Structure 1
């Protein structure tokens, strides 16, 4: 037995389909009172939602995928019973729209490390082991998004280059930690900055339009002291700024 809502999606699916199988339609009235109705023809119920063409659809009453022939449906039914252990639930009218809201991920990372290594294939004496990958060269590049003078490139060609790289990363982590722990105060706003603050109509991070009651907050990068503007700090995911 399969129950479905007005948007025709499976709410509950029996694990074992018996010889006498009945599909039920579950609907709710304005008072949220639920009712069950017999689905005599699943194709007639669902086809109008799939296409404007008035032709029969062969629909799987387990996952609601549809096909153009009975043979294709029967082939699908064998796999569907083994693979689909749960019913498919589509988004409702309230949550059917997706939007980007991880605004903190739009901020550039202050430091990024790119690394690569090269190996030689060393033949082994053991019969079961043919070759051994031995690192002989390693290089890395540290890119700083706000100060190019802090970007560096370094490399090492040695059998001990991996140990060298681990030590380099350790020292780099210490230097970056000291930099990120420093809170540079906001620089004085220029007349142009004040004009941008007063005339701004959209938040530069979430790109949403300012509402009439939105409080525009002055903020700055804690690494450079540069001024930046956004609105609704109390409702905004500001943890990444505060942590800096």
Structure 2
């Protein structure tokens, strides 16, 4: 065996024994900036030859091009990192101040103005570092946040440029439970604000963003609900029909005992913490769950275990409403009722939700966990719940009594109907070319009215129908004048009252009538029977109430 074969065998053995070293035994090409295994093969490649030619033509070809920040007017190595810097934030806006509320404790509103960017989405994204720092700097354990921005719009009209302003917010304040979810919540707020701005149609469409005026970060401290030791149920819900299990615990772990009790409902004295309940509680992972348990910690419990939990509360009228609804209902599901007394709260296990909703219904019903609406069949609930869970949980407010139709006069057909239509000349609009980096709307044509057609139709007597056609540049004004004159003509016709014409059959129908032909309700002494007829034709229509 010669020396060459011996080296090859040693190399093969060495590479098999140390595969990691095998990967690192590569040659680096400075021109292409890559690591290659076979350098001679790489030298002959098209990529390597092309890079050599580019380097000969331009010695600075491989120098990295630094991105440019238009607001700071400098080139930077990393534009994303630069936009998060304090230097960049000082250039794009000015911190106006901070408003406090409730002795500087419960509310803070950070205000910014002199905003340079005109794209709201880009501006708020650049402000994300500032927003995060304001949220993280608070001493509050629990807070809610919202964003607001004031935008100035303009619209090009034939003889002027019209301007208007509007405030756009991120909707209801969103609860922030930990720092890791701040970015996702910010993205959600940005999408809501941008959608509201895009849909802005005050005084018509065609508005273009001119500039951003003000920006606000609103933070509010809130005290979350958490449950602890035993509280007696309100007298109203001590009735067994509500199927509530109120655990009589002396510690702060009522949440744990309710979950464990849901696995052993067949025991006598279910309100007691038995050995079996304690045994069932060991099946669950309680890591990271504090006692007394706050509502926000229930999501962590759901993630640790294959279970879903809904929590309901009682309002001032002791009516049930959703406090916390799970995002995904699992096979193992538990409903809890949170009751309060003074400053103490307590979880109660709900065996069923339907008794709280259907207090007068005797049959079986199926209740939606999200809107608390009941269905007579489970199939109807299964079809309803996937659509309902998309929206925020809310209790449906129903009418106190049966809903009935009362606007009976709207059932009688109008004798006159006016149909109108305009024709317009399309005039091309000449505007400046918009900035492609910003949001904009292009107005292509202006509609200039040149004529109208108006037709008044009378179903009762066609002789009162009328057609009007007008052509001219002043057609909008002429149309308004014609409409006023036509309304006056119809008003005079409606004031006329033809004598009633009744056949022998009509007289017999009136004599035998017991209910009103309009509302279909019986006649009474106070609301007695009268003859109703068409005032334009005199035709008898039927027997009606006097009122």
Q: TM-score range by the shorter chain?
A: 0.5 to 0.7
Counterpart CA distance in 2 for 1:149 and 1:116 is 22
Q: Which residue of the partner structure matches residue 7 of structure 1?
A: none
Contact 1:123 1:131 in 2 (8 A): yes
1:197 aligned residue: 510
What residue number does 1:215 align with?
Answer: 528
Deviation at 1:24, TM superposition (A): 5.8
Partner of 1:42: 350
Q: Could you say if the C-alpha distance between residues 126 and 227 of structure 1 is closer, same or farther in structure 2, counting changes exceeding 3 Å?
A: same
What's the CA shift for 1:224? 2.9
Q: How does 1:226-241 map to 2 (within 5 A)?
A: 226-233=539-546, 236=547
Choose the corresponding residue for 1:101, options 406, 422, 427: 406
Once the two structures are superposed, residues 9-63 of structure 1 have per-residue CA deviations (whole angstroms, 9 ceiling, x without a partner) of: xxxxxx96501188966739xxxxx999978323524279799599xx8946xx5
**Cα contact 2:451–2:472 (8 A) shared by 1:** yes
1:16/1:108 Cα in 2 relative to 1: closer, same or farther (>3 Å)?
A: farther
Where in structure 2 are the equivalents of 1:1-244 lying within 5 Å?
17-20=224-227, 27=236, 40-46=348-354, 59=369, 64=372, 79-80=392-393, 88-92=396-400, 95=401, 97-127=402-432, 130-182=444-496, 184-209=497-522, 215-233=528-546, 236=547
Instruction: Determine helix, strand or coil for the equivalent of 2:354.
Output: helix
Unaligned runs of 5+ in 2: 1-221, 238-316, 320-336, 340-346, 375-380, 434-442
- The RMSD of aligned alpha carbons is 4.4
Match of 2:437 in 1: none
CA distance 1:77–1:139, change in 2 (3 Å): closer
- Unmatched segments (≥5 aa) in structure 1: 1-14, 29-33, 237-244
> Conserved in 2, the CA contact under 8 Å of 1:189 and 1:227?
yes
Counterparts in 2 of 1:144 and 1:18: CA distance versus 1, 3 Å = same
State the alpha-carbon separation in 1 of the partners of residues 365 and 533 from structure 2.
Answer: 58
Q: Which has the higher helix share?
A: 2
Report if the CA contact (8 A) 2:458-2:464 is conserved.
yes
Cα separation, 2, equivalents of 1:78 and 1:125: 44
> What is the total number of aligned residue pairs between the two structures?
197
Note if contact 1:186-1:227 (Cα within 8 Å) is conserved in structure 2: no
- String of CA shifts for 1:76-124, please: whole Å, max 9, x gaps: 69944xxx6xx643334xx1x2221211111121221111112232023
Deviation sequence 1:188-219 (CA, Å, 0-9, x none): 53322211211334321112355799732123
Change (3 A) 1:139 1:164: same
Is the CA contact (8 Å cut-off) linking 1:203 and 1:231 kept in structure 2?
Answer: yes
TM-score, structure 1 length as denominator?
Answer: 0.60
Instruction: State the Cα distance separating 1:134 from its structure 2 match.
Output: 0.8
The one-character-per-residue Cα deviations of 1:161-204 (angstroms, maximum 9, x if unpaired) are 2222122112212211221223x253353322211211334321
